[in-house]
Amino acid sequence: MAPKLEVAFDASVLGYAQYGAAGRTGVFRVADAFARELARHPECALSFCGAENFRMWASACDYLQDEAAFRKFPRLHYNNPARVYRFLGRLFYELEGEPLISLPARAYRKSLGMALRGVERSFQPLQATALEGKHIYHSSFFALPEASRRVKGLRRYLTVCDVINLRHPEFNPSGSKYFQRVIESLTPDDWAIAISETTKQELCAYRPDLDPNRVFVVPLAASNLFQPATDRSIAFMRAHQELGERPYFLSVCTVDRRKNLEGLVKAFALWVKETGNTDTDLVLCGAHGDSTNQVREQIVSNGLERKRVKLPGYVPDVELPALYAGALAFVYVSFHEGFGLPVLEAMQCGAPVITSDSGALAEVAQGAALGVQVRDPRSIAEGLEKIRNSEVRARCAQASLARAAEFSWQRSADLLLRAYKASE
């Protein structure tokens, strides 16, 4: 029996779990799913570490301890400072927002803050000695640490979900410098995991010094939670979200500029005007982001009533399958994506899908969705009208289920292990 691959997995990004809904970002989902599959893969001996962000790592340790799938796996360094930080942090943040009127209370909070900063200052970055004997160092999000370069025989991998912030910094001006540092931590001797062929091409275009043969495509998958819903669960969801009995188009994403919800509202208004439709709504689910006010302004300026375009905010994953399944169609017209996981989630629930006819979204859909030009509201409006045809909708729903069946996290894990072995 061949020896197992010793994999040190940087799980710092799992610290996003502490932020609840806002923390369940795409990078969290990717890292969490990869870690779970590696944890149960028979060819892998997994251990966890955190490279550079002590606060995130301290929070990730909580998550790793709470999740049964991760408890038994070793953590390579600074568990004790992380425990101290978590203990002090709980005491400190319990007081956050409290009106501390008395002098002793203010002094107590100040002393806790000083203790927290002291623990942070005592943080020692990941040391090369912690990685001795490991075959693979895999960062799920953060820059590859300098210490990992000093371990003889260690192969370094970085998951790249997208390079949108670098190729299109207008969508996140404040974050482009950080992502540049992450991508530049890759050397020509390292390997990268791209979550789509589109992301691989964009990474290689941004970093022409990288060998494309060292960039492996490992597509994502939707959770098994996303399945076709029963009529009863759809009815319950409608009542809970106050949707009534009216048909609705659905989009699920953070309300950011990149997601093009302003364009979707324009397209919906154009469709309403040209068809005279009065009984179909648009539901935009997702945490509020940098475009929330602009989307609301679009609703008003296009003469739409707020009750026809609903923004219910963040919706927990457990409620999404019924939302997807009950929709007239799922509409995802983001300008740029590294993969587009909501498209796959909707497809797995049997929803007809309207999405981009190019880029990663077209790659994921691969002909199973109705493709539109996302920068053209008229093209999107035409897609809304086409999908109302019952035959088109039934055909797209069937194609959705067939396409979604081609993805699974087990397949992704097998591809990831294959990428690891390619560096041997």
What are the Cα distances from residue 37, in Å, to 60, 158, 288?
A: 17, 17, 31
CB under 8 Å, gap of 24 or more: what pairs does 152-156 form? 155/190, 155/191, 155/420, 155/423, 156/189, 156/190, 156/191
Predicted confidence at residue 16, as pLDDT, reads 81
Q: Is the CATH number 3.40.50.450 carried by domain 231-404? A: no
Amino acid in the structure at residue 201: Q
What pLDDT score was predicted for residue 189?
96
Taking residues 30-47, what's their average pLDDT?
93
Which among 4, 20, 89, 14 is positioned nearest to 48, based on CA atoms? 14
- The closest of 299, 361, 294, 308 to 330, measured between CA atoms, is 361
Query: Is residue 1 predicted with pLDDT exceeding 60?
Result: no
Q: Where are the extended beta strands (E) located within 50-154?
A: 136-139
Q: What is the pLDDT of residues 256-288, one digit of tens each?
A: 999 999 999 999 999 999 999 999 999 999 888
For the segment 381-422, what is each residue's pLDDT rounded down to a tens digit? 999 999 999 999 999 999 999 999 999 999 999 999 999 999
Q: What is the pLDDT of residue 379?
A: 98
Of 252 and 66, which is predicted with more confidence? Answer: 252
Kindly tell me if the per-residue pLDDT of 123 is higher than 70: no
Report whether pLDDT(350) > 70. Answer: yes
Q: How many other CB atoms are there within 10 angstroms of residue 359's CB atom?
A: 21
What pLDDT is stored for residue 67 in this prediction? 92
pLDDT recorded at residue 27: 86
pLDDT of 23 above 60: no
pLDDT of residue 331 exceeding 90, the answer is: yes
Average pLDDT, the chain: 89
Query: What integer pLDDT is reported at residue 62 of this predicted model?
Result: 80
Q: What percent of the chain has pLDDT over 70?
A: 89
Give the model's confidence band at 84: pLDDT under 50 very low, under 70 low, under 90 confident, else very high.
Answer: low
Report the SS3 class of residue 43: coil
Note the pLDDT of residue 366: 94
Tokens of 267: 């397209």
Q: What is the mean pLDDT of residues 103-131?
A: 74
For 98-124, what is the mean pLDDT?
69
Better-predicted residue by pLDDT, 40 or 52: 40
How buried is residue 49: exposed, middle or buried, by Cβ count under 10 Å (0-12/13-18/19+)?
A: buried
Question: Who wins on pLDDT, 180 or 56?
Answer: 180
- Residues forming CATH 3.40.50.2000 domain(s) in the chain: 5-78+124-221+409-422, 231-404
Q: CA-CA distance, 267 to 264, in Å (whole number)?
A: 5
> pLDDT tens digits for 44-76?
999 999 876 677 787 788 888 889 999 999 988
pTM: 0.88
Residue 175 pLDDT > 80: no
pLDDT of residue 153: 93
Fold of 5-78+124-221+409-422: Rossmann fold (3.40.50)
Of 114-128, 239-253, 299-313, where does mean pLDDT reach its minimum?
114-128
Q: Residue 186: what pLDDT?
A: 96
